[in-house]
Structure 1
Amino acid sequence: MNWASRLWKLALLFIALSSAVQIASRALWALIAVAVILDLAKKRRRNAESCKSPASSPASVTFPGSYKVFMSFRGLDTRKGFADCLYTSLTEKGIRVFRDNEELPVGKNIKPSLTEAIKQSKIAIPIISEDYASSKSCLMELQKMLACNANNEQMIIPIFYHVDISHVKHLKGSFGESFYKLVKKERIGRERIDAWTKALRDIGEMKGLNLAEINDGKLDVDFRDGQAVETIGDEGCVVGICGISGIGKTTVAKVVYNRLYHLFDGCAYLENVRERHAQVEGRKTLRSNLVSQLRNRGSQEFSTSDKAMHFVKNRFSNMKVLIFLDDVHDSEQLTQIQVTLQIMAIISATSRLPLALEAVGSCLLFRSKEVWVDTLKKFEGAPHKRVEEVLKMCYEDLDENHKEIFLDIACFFIGQDKRIAIYMWEDSGFFPQEGIKALLVRSLVKVGENNELWMHEQLRNFGWDIVRKENPREPCKRSRLWNHKEALATLKERKGTEKVQALGLMFDRGTDACFTCEAFYPLQNLRFLKLDCAYIERNLQNLLSNLRWLDWKICPEKTLELPYFNVENLIILDLSWSRVNLRWRGWELIGENAKKLKVLNLTGCLELLEPPAFPAPIKLERLILESCSKLSLISPSISNLCSLVSLNMKFCDVGELPDLGFTKALKELVIDGTFIDTIHFREGTKEQLETLSACKCQRLKQIYEIDHLRSLSNLALDGAAIKTLPVSIGALGKLQRLSLRNCQELTEIPRSIGNLKELQFMDLSNTGVDELPNSVKHLDNLKVLKMEFTCIGKFPEAIQNLPKLEEIDFFRCWNLEIQMDCDLVGLSSLRVLKLSYTHISHLPESICCLSNLQMLELRNCKELQVLPEFRSSVIIQR
C-alpha cells in the first residue's frame, strides 16, 4: 500500500477518533494535508508523464542537497502550529522540505537563497493564511512559485488555512485589509501591486486543499434527565442524530444513553446494525441480542423473525424500554429508539449528503406528516437524482422573486456584501429582505459575520444548471452570463438578447479588451454589468437604461475620458482600483443624472486626493473610500450627503474626522488604519450612529465625551493608543459589542461600564487591564468576555454570577489564580472556559456544578496537578 493510501486511512481514523477524544486540530489537518499532497503529486506526475513521448522525455537530473518541497507561509500565523506539523509530517516521510530560516548558512543573503530553493524544489506549498498578504517576502515567494509553475518547472499545491478563498482572489475581508495595509506602509509601486494581485488571483484559482475551521469538538448533550423523560412522554418516539460519518454521532448518543438508561425498565445497545442486517446469520444475532439485553439474561434464539416479533410484543408491551441502534439502514418504531442515523427514510433518500440533509430538513421544518410522505415518494421515484431532487424541491418552494435573488447570488454575488446587493434587488422589485430570509430558512444561502453572502459549491452549481437549462445551446438567450468565455463571445459577436439580465467579464490588468457600443444595443434589460479592466469605444449614453449595478473595477485610463453612459437608473457604481481623480468628467454626469445612486465604491483609487464634490440632490447612502492611500482631506461637500448611511475611510491618510454634522442618517463610520488622533462629535450629532470602528488607529489617543451616541451598538477600537475610556461610555445604553483588543496603553475600565445593560461581547485581550471593576456584575446580558494576554491576577468575583455569560477566555493570563472557595455556581450558562497557559494550580469544586459547561481548555497549565471529576460530556483540553 502506498504512502498516500496509508495516510488517507490514518487521517480518516484520526477524524473518527477526534469526535470522541480531544486531538489538536492543526495536527489532524497536517496529516490530511500530507495525504492530499502526496496524492495530488502522484496524479499530476502521472498526467505529465502520459503527455510525454518516451523519445522526447529529458533525462532526469538531480542536484545534491536539492529540496523536494518548498513551503511558503506567514510565520506569525502558522509557524508554531500547522506549518510546523506539516513540516514534521513531510520530513518524517523522507521528503526534504525547505522553509524559511531552515538550513541557511549564517550571513548569507536570504533573497537569493530563497529564490534558489524555490527553483530547485519539485513541489511548492504556499500556506495561504489570513495574514499571508501582509508579508512582502511571502508575496514575492508566491510570485516566483507561479513563474516556475508557468514554465512547467514546478508543481504548486496551495493550502488555504482558515481563510476564505474568495477573499484571497478578490482581496476582501481581513485578508484584503492586510494586503492594503502592506501596500500603504511600504509604498509599493503600481507594477508590483498588479503582479501580486494577479498572483493571489491565480493561486485562488488553483486546485489545492481548503482547511476550514474544525469544530472545537463541543458536544451539547447535557440536559436534565427528568426533562428528557417528560419530553419522551408515554408514547414511543424516535430520536435522531444525523450527520456525516466520524463527527461524533455515536459518541453523543452513548452519552445520552448512559444518562437515561436507569430511567427505563429495560435497555439494549446494538452496534453495526446495517452491516449485520445484510447477513442472514447477522439478523438472527441482532434479534437474539435485542431480547437478551432487554431481559438482562442469556441468549434467546428464534427460528423466524415473526416469532421474535411475537415474543417482543407479548413480553415487553407494558414496559418502557430504551433501545440504541447504531448505524441503522431501515427504521422500525419500537417503544423508545435512540438512533445515530445513517438511516431513516428521508435521510436515506437524500444519500446522507450533509448539504441535502440540511436543505431538505429546512424545507420540511414544521410541515405536516403528509408533506413528509409525499417528499419521500418523490425522492424514491428518482433514485439516481436524489440530491438534485432535494435542491430542486427547495428551489421550487421559493417565490418567483426569491428565485431571482438565489440565481443572482449563485452566478455573481458569492462573497459580496449583502447590504449592497439588497439595493439592486429592492429597486428591481424582488423584496430582498423577505427573500434573503426565505433563502436562509431553507439553508440555500448563508450570511457571514461581515454580511458576506455565501453558498455551498453544490448549490452554486445547481443555480448555474438552472440558468444553463434556460437555453442549453445558446448562452446569449439565458438570463445570466457569468462564464467569461460565453459573455465575451456574446459581446464580441453582438449576439446579446433582451433575455440577458446580468453579464460579467473579468480581464487581467493590461489586457487590451475593447468593445464598441454596438455590442450593448440588444442588452436593453441588463441590470447588472461587470466589466473589470475592459475598454469601451464611444459612449453608451442612450444604452443600458435599465442598468442598476455597474461593476467596473480597474477601469482603463482611456475609458475614463468617455464617461457618457446612461446612469438614470444606476443604483450601485463600483470603480475600485481605477485611476479616477477630481478632474474626471464622470463626476459631473453622476451629479446631474444619477439621482437614484445609493452606493459608490472607490476602493483603492490611488490618485484620489479627496472625495469628489457631491451636489445636494444625490441620495447616496454608502460611500466606500477604503485604501485610497493618498486621500488626506474630506471636502465640505460631503455634508450634502444627507442620506449617507455608511462612510468607509479605512486605510486612508485622513488625520482628522471630517465635519459630518449634516449627515444625520449616518449609522456606520469606519476609520480603521487612519491617522486620526482624536474622536469627538458635537453634541446633538450622530445620534443615529450604530457602528463606530477605529481599529489599528495607532495615533488615536483621545476619545471625548460620547454619551450622546444613543444608538451606538458596536464600538471597535482595537489597537488604538488610548489610555482611558471616557466615563460617559456608561451612557451608551444600546451598546452590544465593545472591542478594545491590543489597546496596550489602556490600564483600567471605568466603573460606569456596569451601566451597559445590553452589552453582550467585551474583548479586553492584550490590554494593560489587570482587574475588572465591581460594577461588571451588573452586565446581565454579557455572553462573551475575552481577556487573553492580560495580567489579571485572580478570577474576577464580579463575573461569577452573570446569568448569560457563555464564554470566558483567559488564555495566556500568566498571573491568573483561582481561589478554592471561588463560587462559580452562578455561571449557569457558561459553555466554554479557556484557561490554557496560565499558572493555576487547582480548580474549585464548584466548577463541577456548571451544568452547561461543554469545553474546558487547560493546555500547558503545568502547575495544575488534580482535576475535579467532571461529567463525561465535558471536553477537557490539556
Structure 2
Amino acid sequence: MAFMDTENASSSSSSFPSSSSTPGWKYDVFLSFRGTDTRKNFTDHLYAALSQKGIFTFRDDEKLERGTFIAPELLSAIEDSRFAVVILSRDYASSSWCLIELAKIVECMEKKGLIVLPVFHYVDPSDVRNQRGAFAEAFVKHQERFKDKMEDVYTWRAALTQVASIAGWDLHDKHEAKVIEEMVRKILGKLNSTYSVIHKDLVGINSRMEEMVNLLAIGLNDVRFVGICGMGGMGKTTLARLIYKKLHYCFEGSSFLANVREESKKHGLVPLQKRLLADIFLEKNIDFLDVQWGINMIGKRLCHKRVLVILDDVDQLDQLEALVGERNWFGQGSRIIITTRYQHLLIRHEVVRVEIYKARKLNDDEALHFFSLKAFKKDYPLEGYEDLSQKVICYAQGLPLALEVLGRFLFRRSVDEWESALCRLKESPERQISDVLKITFDGLREREKNIFLDIACFFKGMEEDHVVNILQALYDKPKIDIVVLLEKSLITISFGKFWMHDLLQELGKEIVRCESPEEPGRRSRLWLTEDVIHVLKCNTGKEVVKSIFLDSPPRKEERLNAETFSKMKNLRLLKISNVHFPQGLKYLSSELRFIHWDGYPLESMPTSFEPEKLVELIMPCSLVKGLWKGIKSLERLKLIDLRDSWNLIETPDFTKVPSLEQLILQHCTRLSKIHESLGELKRLILLDLNGCKCLKSLPHKISLESLKVFILSGCSRLKTFPEIVGNMSCLLELYLDGTAIEELPLSVERLTGLIKLDLSGSAIREWSRTFPSNNLKILSLSGCEALLSKSSNRFFNFPLMPRRSTCPMGMLQRSLSGLCSLTQLDLSYCNLQAIPDVLGCLSSLTELYLMGNNFVGLPKSII
C-alpha cells in the first residue's frame, strides 16, 4: 500500500496503511512475571537490556493495586504488544493476576499472532507443563478460592500447559547475562524481519526510505537533525513512522511524539516533554511544573544517551525549542527527525538545507497501484473502471491522502456511482481531504491568506514577474508573504510560473465559495463565467467583491447592467471580455489596480474614474477613442496595452504618469497623434507602435533613458525620427521596418547600446555619419533598394569614408567593415549586383541572408 499522512486524526479511519498480516502494535514486548520472585533481579536486568536496544517494553508498575481483577490497562497492553516474555518462576502460578495475564497472552497468541517467549526461571519446564510441585500446590489453592469460577481455573491450567510447551530459555546452569543477550538478539531479529514485510506492502516507500536512511547517516557519531517537509497528505508522518520502526532498536532510547501541533494546542508543551522522557527512560512518574523545568531535565538527562526522537507535525518554533532545543541536549550518535509543513521552521532551528528531505508525491504508476489497492483490493483496476481510475489519478496528482480517501469511498461502487462522484468532485473536494489541507491555510497571517487565495483563484500558471507586479500593487512588498507560502508548500514556482497542487487550488476556491454559498455577489473573488454574468446582469455585487477575473469569456455578447459597478467600491482586479453595457459606464472603483478588458465597448473611460492606484491597463480590441482628457494623476501606472484598438485617435497626456514602463499601441490603425509628453517618460522600457499606419509624427524630441525596445514597424506614413536628447544608451532594439523614414538625425549617436536594427522595407536613403556600430549584432536591410541607388551619395558615410567615394557598393563595403560584433546580416532583396568582399572580415557573423539579389558569384573572402 502507498503511504499517507496521519496529521489529522479525523482525516482517516486508520493511522496509516499496513499489511493485514502484520498489524501495528504499541509495544514491542510485554513482560509477564511474578514481582516478588524476579522484579529486582532477572526481570529488571532484562528490561534494562531491552530498553537499551530501543525495544519498547511494557512492564507493569509495582505500585498498581493488586486484586482479584486485573487492571484493564494491562490487558490492553498485551493486545498492543508484538512479543510477550513470560518469566515462569517458582511462585508465578500462585498469583491469579499472573494467570489472568497468561490466559490473555494465549488468547492473543491464537487470535492476533502474539509471539510468546517463555523463560523458565530456575524451574523444571516439565513441572510447569504438568503442574507439579509448587505449581500443583498453587492450583489447589486456586480451586478452593475460585470454586465458583472453576472455568477460569481450567483456562489458567490450559494456558500454563500451552506456554510451557513452547521452546524457551531454561536458566539452570546458564549465565543470566548470556540468556538476556540471546533473548534481546532474537527479539531484534524478529522485529527487523517484520519491518521488511511491511515495506513490501507500501507502494513507493522503499526508495523514500533509502533516501531518508542515507540522510540520517546512522553510522556517524554526530548529533543530526533531519526534517521531512511537504504539504499535508503527502506521507510525511507515515515515512517517519516507518523510519522509527526500522531504526529505533539501534538507539539507547527512542520516542515518537505524534501530532505535536494538535497536542500542544490542546494540552500545552509540558505533557509532551513528560512523554518524551517517559518514552526514553520508560518511567511513568516523571513530573515537573513548567516548560523551562522540562527543558532543563531533557538537556541534562539525555546529553549522554544515544537516542532517536521523532516530532511529528510541528508548526511552531517554541515546540522545537521545548522538546529538542539544542544539539548538545543529546548524546553522540543521536538522531532527531522533525515532520512539518513549514520548511522555514527547520531552517530557523538550524536544520541545514542538506538535512531537509522534501516529501515526494507518488508518480502515476505508484498512484494507480495504491489507488487500486484501496478501491479494488487489487494491484490494478477492475475491467470497465480503467478510464475512471485514470481520472481519479489525474485529480489526486500523486497525493496519497486523496488517493486513500477516494479509494475507500469508491470501493464496491458501480460505474454510475463513480461517474457521479467524479462529477461532484468538480464542484467541491471531499471534506476529509480539504480538512487536512486547510490546516496549513488556517495557520497563515491574514495577508498570506489573501495572497494564497488570489493565486488559487486567478494566478496559477501565470508568469512569476507578472504576478509579482500585480501582487505588489495589491499588497505592499509581498515578497516575504510569497516566500512563506513557498516554505509551507502551498505554492511552487517552476519554470518562471506560479503553480500549486490542484487540490490546494480547489481548497482556495472552496474557501471563497463558502463566503456566500448562494449569492456570488457577496464573495470576495469571482472567476466563474456564470457567477460574473449573474452579478453584472442582476446587479447583486456588493462592497465585499475585490476581484473579478474572467479567463473564459461568455460565448455570446452579454448585455449587462453597469450600475452594479457602483456598488463594488473595493474592486481591485478586473478582467472581463465580450460584455456590453447599453446604458454606458458611469463608475469604476478608484481602488482598481489592474484592468484587463478585452473589447472594451465604450469610447472612453468613465469621466468620474480616478485611477490613482491603477498599475496595469490592458484593453485590446477596445472601442476607445481616447483614454482620458486633460491631465490625470496615475503615479503607479506601469503598463498601457491598447493593441488592436482601431478607434484610438490620440494618446492622452502622460505628464503625470511617471512610472509607465510599457506602452503598447500596435495596430491602432487610426492613431495619428502622439502627445509630446510621451518623450519625457523616464521609466519607459517598451514602446510598441507597430502597424500604426496613420501615424505621421512622433514627439519632436525624446529622452527615454530607460527605453530598451522601440518598435515603429509598419508606420508607413512616418517620415521623421525624433531628435534624441540625453542618454538613451539603454536602447537595445530599434525597428524602423516599413516606415517612410528617409534619414536619421545626427543624435542617433547617443544610441550606443543598440544591438538590433531593422530597416527592412523602409525608405531609408542615408545612414548618418555618426551612427554607432560597435555593439550592433543584428542588422536587417532587406528590401532597402534606395540605399544602393546612385543618388544616395552619402550611404553609410562614416568619417573614414573618402568624400570622393560616391560608389554605393564601395560605401557599403566601407560601412560594413566597422560592424565587428555583427552576428546576423540581412541583405535580401536589395538588388545587389555583387556581394561585398568585406563580408569575409565580419568574424562574428553567423547568419547571412542574400536571397532576391542579382549577383552571379561569391567573393573568395566568404570562406
TM-score if structure 1 supplies the norm length?
Answer: 0.39
TM-score if structure 2 supplies the norm length?
Answer: 0.39
Greater RCO, 1 or 2 (C-alpha within 8 Å, sep 6+) = 2
Rg (Cα) greater in structure? 2
